[in-house]
Amino acid sequence: MESKPKCTCLPKFVVKSDARLRAQLDQHLADAKIDDLATIIYTSGTTGDPKGVMLDQGSLKHLFKIHEMRLKVDSTDRSLSFLPLSHIFERGWAYFMMYSGAHNYFLQNPRTVIDVLPRVKPTLMCAVPRFFEKTYQGIQDETSRWPAIKRVFFKRAMAVGEERLKYVTANKPIPAVLRLQLAFYHKLVYSKLRRVLGGEIRFMPCAGAAASTELLTFFHSAGINIKYGYGATETTASVSCFKDYGFDLVSVGEIMPEVDVKISPEGEIMVKGNTVFRGYYKKPVETAAVLRDGWYYTGDAGSVKAGGHLVMSERMRDIMKTSVGKYVSPQRIELLLGQDPLIEQIVTIGDDRRFVMGLIVPVYDRIDALARELRLREQPREDMLKDPKLIQHLNERFISLQTSLQPHERMVKFTLLPEPFSIEKGELTSTLKLRRKEISRIYKDLIEEVYSS
């Protein structure tokens, strides 16, 4: 006799197993404790070996609580997740979406996010500053091709949006005349910019790296509400973020409710509260170095302004000291120069050196266009990036961008790289943060060549 496969249809299987599984689930819930380990998330490892951050159920519970007190999210919201779930930013957000009953769409390939946005039409989406930088540059490229009168109209619309932003950040009512102007430009300009992000965005949490004031101003002026903030894996994500009104664009937002922050005598940001982690997995020495008397020492330099606005200035270990004893903030230089549309990525070097130099990944198609404009001869890219005429032109351009810096802070020399920094080569973390030590190691010979020339 021919054997027949033994199978059970899903509805019958669910009915049969439901009572048994329900009993097991009830027992698990009864046994659960607030201090049970919930997850171990490994840090991005920008400065050394990754460490396993142990977060308990209480940390996640308070993550939900403080975000619910700051952000309005409900079951009508749609969130698009494209950042790595191995990172607390997107992981914590995904948990919060489930807690809030919102719809969360997970994107397999982050490179397709721009194509997917019009289909999902998210109302919420987490992003890192690099996403906004690329979006901003794309908008600038598009508007640069417009007729002069259209560019003037766009500039006027953004100026009106920036005027509105002044009232928003000051937490003051917007005058009636300005509201009429905003309504006019919304239909013709702002709505089209918002369409790039799907058209229905309410707000976008943003963290993971420094964002320039100019970048935040542009998007907020277009009515795109970036909730810029600051946090760490060790604090179960958010320590601070922008409110809807009364936020300070030079800060990383107002400190979250039920989170305590103070600044050490050395200027280090310290965090205390129920979202602070319990320690690093099997690393008691490293845990003791950053957890003292309930305070987590973040390793970030910063200050707290009036009203609880947190300012994060630099990773303390990233601050460079030149050979003549001058302290230099690489982030400040990189943010300033990174606004140049010719620069894709930049890392500054200067520790124990006479002056600051830069490793620059240019935007290659724009550099090609500039080479044609300068009438450089046809040559391989690597040779073209070393062309004296191109280097001189860029040097003059970069000098003009650095006038606000002290002489010892300025990038004096630079070299253009033929390939971008990447995750695969170990130069970037999974969240696109620069791994400075690894970059310095990989380009050691090139750096020495620049300093000896």
Confidence of residue 32 (pLDDT cuts 50, 70, 90): confident
Instruction: Tell whether the model's pLDDT for residue 262 goes beyond 90.
Output: yes
Long-range Cβ contact pairs of 156-161 (< 8 A, separation 24 or more): 156/185, 157/185, 157/188, 157/189, 157/190, 158/189, 158/218, 158/221, 158/222, 160/185, 161/185, 161/190, 161/220, 161/221, 161/222, 161/223
The pLDDT-based confidence of 50 (bands split at 50, 70, 90) is confident
pLDDT tens-place string over residues 372-416: 999 999 999 999 999 999 999 999 999 999 999 999 999 999 999
> Is residue 353 helix, strand or coil?
coil
Q: Where residue 29 falls among pLDDT bands split at 50, 70, 90?
A: confident
Domains 39-132+205-315 and 319-452 share a fold: no
Maximum distance among all alpha carbons in the chain?
92
> How far, in Å, CA of 440 to CA of 26, rounded?
54
Q: Which two tokens stand for residue 60?
A: 């996640």
Average pLDDT of 135-159? 95
The pLDDT of 26-45, averaged and rounded, is 88
pLDDT for the residue 65: 97
Asked whether the predicted pLDDT for residue 1 surpasses 50, the reply is no
- Could you tell me how far CA 134 lies from the centroid of its own chain? 12
Alpha helices in 292-363 (DSSP H): 330-337
Region 313-330 average pLDDT = 91
Among candidate residues 207, 213, 197, the one with its CA nearest the CA of residue 139: 197
- Lowest-confidence pick of 46-60, 171-185, 277-291: 46-60
- CATH assignment of 39-132+205-315? 3.40.50.12780
Higher-pLDDT residue of 8, 360: 360
**Where do we find the tokens 């520790």?**
351
CA 32 to chain centre: 34
4 has a pLDDT exceeding 60 = no
Region 249-262: what's the mean pLDDT? 98
Tokens 């003009």 label which residue? Answer: 400
Angle at 415 between CA 412 and CA 417, to 5 degrees: 150
**The pLDDT of residue 6 is above 80:** no
* Average pLDDT rounded to a whole number, residues 124-139: 94
Amino acid (one-letter) located at 268 = E
Q: Where are the domains of the chain?
A: 39-132+205-315, 319-452
Helix (H, G, I), strand (E, B) or coil at 308: coil
* Fold assignment, 319-452: GMP Synthetase; Chain A, domain 3 (3.30.300)
Interacting residues of 275 by C-beta distance below 8 A, sequence separation 6+: 59, 62, 63, 66, 235, 236, 237, 238, 259
